Amino acid sequence: MSEDSRPNLYLVPTPIGNLKDITLRAIEVLKQADVILAEDTRTSGKLLKHLEISRPLQSYHIFNEHKTVEKLVQRMKAGEYFALISDAGTPAISDPGFLLVREVLQAGLDVQCLPGPTAFVPALVNSGLPNDRFVFEGFLPHKKGRKTRIEGLMEEVRTMIFYESTHRIQKTLEQFAEAFGPERQACVSRELTKLHEENARGTLAELIDYYQTHPIKGEIVLVVAGKNPKSD
Ligand code: SAM
């Protein structure tokens, strides 16, 4: 990578569990950044220490992004090179980043997102559900707007991907069974890339039953088949 052709901002994916999932290029970019913007400097500090990367760290998270974006763009214009990382996976995917990318581009500067770990891709592929077309729904709203979002997906024929927390999964499966029917196929991917990775596949009704007797821990992605276009 020649120093002159570097984009002003790199988005660098970091492991979602297994530390070996960092790419050689991610390490190179992080080593060359003037400043690493991190969602949580303590969490990222541990990863960077493990990778023997010692660069200035600055916090960048949903609570300060609106305030800091403009200043960061000014610093990029002045010639500083930044790398943005989140706690895990690809920044800006259900994580802070979008706002900064938009402002950097609007300022006529350059952005590049490296390919790398993200939870939804392995979950989709592991599910065994059609993956030629899919929709990424991220986190559903907890309260306001939740029902409308689910109802809006009743006619969706593409495979749907959701990020969910373990304490809400049972409720979500039940709401999905009500909206999409209990026989709809789905897959719950838990602890991807980690020691206790598990991909539980079955109908929504089977998964509801399974989690009644198997308390679920860790991080999860829920993948749900789309509506069969041949059914009414
Ligand atoms: N930026 C991340 C990405 O690229 O996937 C997502 C960040 S979001 C705040 C965190 C959510 O991602 C978790 O609640 C879970 O739904 C999902 N997730 C992250 N790591 C995971 C893992 N190892 N196994 C299953 N799901 C995971």
Q: Kindly report, residue by residue over 95-153, the tens digit of the pLDDT.
A: 999 999 999 999 999 999 999 999 999 999 999 999 999 999 999 999 999 999 999 99
Same domain, 88 and 24: yes
The answer on pLDDT for 1 being more than 70 is: no
Q: Is 220 in the pocket of ligand 1 (CB under 6 A)?
A: yes
Provide Rg for the chain, Cα atoms.
20
Same domain, 191 and 221: yes
Is residue 54 in a domain?
A: yes
Burial letters 51-82, b for 16+ CB under 10 A, else e:
eebeeebbebbeeebeebbeebbebbeeeebb
**Structure confidence at residue 178 as a pLDDT band (50, 70, 90):** very high
**Spatial contact of 109 and 76, defined as CB atoms under 8 Å apart:** yes
Q: Is 119 in the pocket of ligand 1 (CB under 6 A)?
A: yes
**Structure confidence at residue 230 as a pLDDT band (50, 70, 90):** confident
Give the separation between CA 65 and CA 8, rounded to whole angstroms.
Answer: 17
Q: Is 221 in the pocket of ligand 1 (CB under 6 A)?
A: yes
Same domain, 126 and 218: yes
In this structure, the residue with its CA closest to atom 25 of ligand 1 is 220
Mean pLDDT over 160-174 rounds to 96
Same domain, 101 and 135: no
State which of 93, 219, 222, 223 you would mutate to test the pocket of ligand 1, scoring each by most atoms of that ligand within 8 A of its C-beta. 219
Given 92, 113, 134, which residue is the final one in a domain? 113
Same domain, 49 and 144: no
State which of 11, 12, 16, 62 you would mutate to test the pocket of ligand 1, scoring each by most atoms of that ligand within 8 A of its C-beta. 16
Q: Is 192 in the pocket of ligand 1 (CB under 6 A)?
A: yes
Overall size of the chain counted in residues: 232
Same domain, 97 and 39: yes
- CB proximity list for 110: less than 8 A, separation 6 or greater: 7, 8, 9, 104
Same domain, 33 and 125: no
Give the separation between CA 20 and CA 13, rounded to whole angstroms.
Answer: 12
The pTM of this model reads 0.95
Given 93, 113, 133, which residue is the final one in a domain? 113
Split into its structural domains, the chain has a count of 2
Record the tokens describing residue 12, joined without a space.
């660098």
Query: Residue 187 C-alpha to ligand 1 middle, in angstroms?
Result: 15
- CB proximity list for 39: less than 8 A, separation 6 or greater: 59, 60, 61, 85, 86, 87, 91, 95, 96
Average pLDDT, the chain: 95
Mean pLDDT over 49-72 rounds to 94
Is residue 142 in a domain?
A: yes
Record the tokens describing residue 23, joined without a space.
């790419």
Same domain, 92 and 128: no
Same domain, 90 and 136: no
Q: DSSP E strands: which ranges in 86-144?
A: 111-113, 134-139
In this structure, the residue with its CA closest to atom 26 of ligand 1 is 220
Give the separation between CA 34 and CA 78, rounded to whole angstroms.
Answer: 12
Query: Residue 178 C-alpha to ligand 1 middle, in angstroms?
Result: 25
Same domain, 145 and 68: no
The range of the structural domain enclosing residue 20 comes to 9-113
**Structure confidence at residue 4 as a pLDDT band (50, 70, 90):** low
Write down the pLDDT at residue 3: 57
CATH for 82: 3.40.1010.10
* 128 secondary structure, DSSP code: T
CATH for 194: 3.30.950.10
